[in-house]
Amino acid sequence: ETCGTHSKYMRAVYPTKTFPNHYTIVTGLYPESHGIIDNNMYDVGLDAHFSLSGEEKFKPEWWKGQPVWLTAMSQNLKAGTFFWPGSDVAIGGTYPTLYTKYNGSIPYEERISGILKWLDNAQPERPDIYTLYIEQPDSSGHSFGPVSAGVIKALQEADKAVGMLMDGLKQRNLHKCVNLIVLADHGMEKTYCKKLEYMTNYFKEVDFYLYAGPAARIRAKNVPNDYFTCSKHGIVYTACCRRSPQHFKPYLTPDLPKRFHYANNIRIDKVHLLVDRQWLAVRDKSYSSCDGGNHGYNNEFKSMEAIFLAYGPSFKEKTEVDAFENIEVYNLMCDLLHIAPAENNGTHGSLNHLLKKPFYNPSHPKEVSSPSSCPVSSLIPADDLGCNCTQTSIGSTEELNERLNLTTEEIKKASSSHLPYGRPKVLQKEKVYCLLSHHQYVSGYSYDIRMPLWTAYTVNKP
């Protein structure tokens, strides 16, 4: 709060897991687009299982999109990564210029020293962008819960590491030259072994594979043979509204809330359990990793919110900004490097308000088709649409239609109310349409398809 810029919070992508969110931050893509849809997953096309503990995660075919270190390198910059999910993988056949293969036993001090040594390189060999990963306080949050002495100690360790980095920058007289972003991938929720939803309470026979936890998924047990024939509709039906209270809701993956952007990938299993906060969906009573903390829940839960702090010559000072999604950070990093981002799900320029002098200033595209006004030739419809309703309480059809024939002043009032920021621009060629104004809304009516291309209206707060 005393220097740099920070957000009220940063919203993680769903599921609020480590690998999906770390890779979203450096690609600007939702997990369904970059392919790392969870820390553990199965790809039927590859017939392979991805996990944090296995060697499969080092294979490039799992990692889609272009991480920021490759974006930088493709534009003649250098990148140094002292840990980051995906940074020790030859994505697209290429590693970062300088990188260290992940080893969680390397002390934080050694990681910071590694970054500082790279900064000491001669200019031609010095990276332009760096990544650094610190496990805490996530590890302690899992062990002790988010509000615990263990997490306080872990925060002190992380703070000490950041302090060491800042001291190193000051010793090199770089503390006013480097743009620094400190962020988290997700939050943490308290969990209890007494708050478990057992699948054995819902199914006579649990003859499927369950990815247990706060973002549970279900697939066939025998893969790849039964992957596409598993009775997903039957599973959802059996698990739906069977107990009261029930602390999860089963979904066919395409029916999940669209704001999750979590459906369009073969790795996302076809049945998903959206779990209540503090609860876990598990197979049976043999599950024991439950007391402490966990994450993966709905990304709108307050406990899943992440931090975002930024400091350096490009960032505004003593500034708090509203929350934003972590898909926006990739474009921001590209702007700090003065490079063009790869295609991504973020909105380029949406974080310009964090910067003293934005590098990229979006401009509105030029309109291709402009509207005419909708003429009124007659108040009697040319086509009655087969309607034979009898209007008894309000005047004649002609009188009713007269209400739709707004005066010039009424049209101005409708535009002011329903188009306060101007009308939508039509970017398709050869679209013939007119502005059709009503008291309650304004439409861009297409002569080609005989229906609105768009409709604008304002809803007043109650």
Look at the block and give the residue holding tokens 């060999």. 125
Which pLDDT value is given to residue 395? 60
How many domains, the chain?
Answer: 3
**Judgement on whether residues 264 and 224 belong to the same structural domain of the protein:** yes
Q: How confident is the model at residue 242 (pLDDT cuts 50, 70, 90)?
A: confident
Catalytic pick among 18, 27, 131, 191: 18
Q: State whether 323 and 285 are in the same domain.
A: no
Q: How far apart are CA 444 and CA 426, in angstroms?
A: 9
Radius of gyration (C-alpha) of the chain in whole angstroms: 27
Q: Are residues 339 and 447 in the same domain?
A: no
CA–CA distance, 328 with 334 (Å, rounded to integer): 10
Reported as a pLDDT band with limits 50, 70 and 90, residue 204 is confident
CATH of the domain at 342: 3.40.720.10
- Considering the domain architecture, whether residues 390 and 438 belong to the same structural domain is answered as yes
Kindly state whether residue 265 falls inside one of the protein's structural domains. Answer: yes
Instruction: For residue 78, give the H/E element and its range.
Output: none
pLDDT of residue 375: 75
Give exposure, 228-265, as e/b (b: 16+ Cβ within 10 Å).
eebebeebbeebeeeeeebbbebbebeebeeebbbbeb
pLDDT tens digit sequence for 29-86: 999 999 999 999 999 999 999 999 999 999 999 999 999 999 999 999 999 999 999 9
Query: Across residues 15-22, what is the average pLDDT?
Result: 98
Q: Measure the CA–CA gap between 330 and 440, rounded to whole angstroms.
A: 40
Quick one: pLDDT at residue 403? 76
394 pLDDT more than 70: no
CA distances from 7 to 4, 178, 255, 322 (A): 11, 20, 31, 6
| 363 domain-assigned | no
Tell me the per-residue pLDDT of 93-120, one tens digit each, with 9 for 90 and over.
999 999 999 999 999 999 999 999 999 9
- Is residue 419 domain-shared with residue 400, that is, in the same domain? yes
pLDDT value, residue 118: 98
Quick: pLDDT tens for 377-393.
Answer: 666 666 666 766 665 55
Domain end, chosen from 290, 310, 328, is at 290
Give the per-residue SS3 of 169-189: HHHCCCCCCCCEEEECCCCCE
- Strand 319-321 and strand 5-7: the pairing is parallel
Highest mean pLDDT among 18-22, 203-207, 394-398: 18-22
Q: How far is CA 81 from the centre of its chain?
A: 23
- Segments forming the whole domain that contains residue 220: 196-290
Residue 367 has pLDDT above 90, yes or no: no
- C-alpha separations of 182 from 131, 133, 282, 377, 435 in Å: 10, 10, 34, 63, 48
Same domain, 389 and 443: yes
* 18 has catalytic annotation: yes
- Residues 117 and 213 placed together within one structural domain of the fold: no
Interval 345-349 mean pLDDT: 97
Whether the CB-CB separation of 48 and 35 falls below 8 Å is answered with: no
- The answer on 304 and 281 residing in a single domain is no
The CATH number of the domain where 244 resides is what? Answer: 3.30.1360.180
pLDDT at position 396 over 70? no
CA-to-CA distance for 459 and 257, rounded, in angstroms? Answer: 23
Instruction: Please check whether residues 47 and 180 belong to one and the same domain.
Output: yes
Which of 248, 268, 290 delimits the end of a domain? 290
Per the model's pLDDT, the better-predicted residue between 431 and 217 turns out to be 217
